[in-house]
Amino acid sequence: MQKMTVAEAAKELNLTVITIRLLMQKEKLPIGYAIKNEGAENYHYIIFKELVDGYKRRVENGEM
């Protein structure tokens, strides 16, 4: 699977970077994983292009 940055996903989904991060942290955006770094307060984001494309299609078709 091809990976994307948070900024690339935000652009594809017409959302802000902050919105992508918050939704992923709350497991409300099924496009990859938000992994909290051990011993820290920050997260690492793994986003897959195929999941972004699928989510985008579902939104466009009114399934979300």
0.85 surpassed by pTM: yes
pLDDT of residue 9: 98
Separation CA 59–CA 64 (nearest Å): 5
For every residue of 9-27, DSSP letters joined together read HHHHHT--HHHHHHHHHTT
The pLDDT of residue 37 is: 86
pLDDT at 43: 96
Tell me the pLDDT tens digit for each residue of 15-33. 999 999 999 999 999 999 9
Which DSSP state fits 40? S
